[in-house]
Amino acid sequence: MNATDFHLYIDSADIAQIEACLPHPVVHGVTTNPTLLRRAGVARAAVPGLLARCIERGARQVQAQVCSAEADGMLEDALDLLRHFDHGQLVVKIPATRQGLQAGAHLIAQGVPVTWTAVYALEQAHFAAQLGAAYAAPYLGRLDDSGVDGLARIAQMQALVAQAPAPRTRLLVASVRSRDAYLALLQLGVGAITIPPQLFDALMDHSATLEAERGFLADAAAC
């Protein structure tokens, strides 16, 4: 992978917030999880419709999470979600548990893109790369909250993922709370970041640029 392979996701289940960011050429897709869905008041049965609307608005991929703790239930959840989408549009998110690794490996063998999420340990990132995941998702802010140097831990994960003989697993870093954190992750070379809509606004709208634009428009109008 090279710099042009970077994937930026919007992390939200609030359709109004999502549609304020889409369509935009820098946005690859939308990530969700059960917590975001609960906060947005989106029922489980409404998830496919929400994600289909994201694709209609320009998302190239969307991500939804299974809601079972056992591998068989995870696979049932995944198949129920996948039937609503064309191949490759939906990435199935699965917690990086013992059961989750089993279920995800089965899906990958069937050609389904998988994100192992809630990745906190180095070996979890290694297993994700070893098994051919599309993404492994560590949480920067939550790592910091737990007393770990989150950026250092993610740098170690990135090094492990990059060591794979044919690297195809991107770290998809979540729980990114500031522009500085986003830029620091880019410096590490991570392959994907998912951010809340509010941070997207901070990355897009720079006061000095907007002020310069106002000056240019005023001068253009005076010509």
Q: Which residue's entry shows tokens 């998912």? A: 194
Contacts for 116-122 with beta carbons within 8 Å, 24 or more apart? 117/33, 117/65, 117/93, 117/174, 119/157, 120/146, 120/153, 122/153, 122/156, 122/157, 122/160
For the chain, give the percent of residues with pLDDT over 70. 98
User: What pLDDT digit, counting tens, does each position of 39-91 carry?
Assistant: 999 999 999 999 999 999 999 999 999 999 999 999 999 999 999 999 999 99
Position 102 confidence tier, pLDDT thresholds 50, 70, 90: very high
| Global pTM exceeds 0.75 | yes
Mind telling me the catalytic residues? Answer: 93
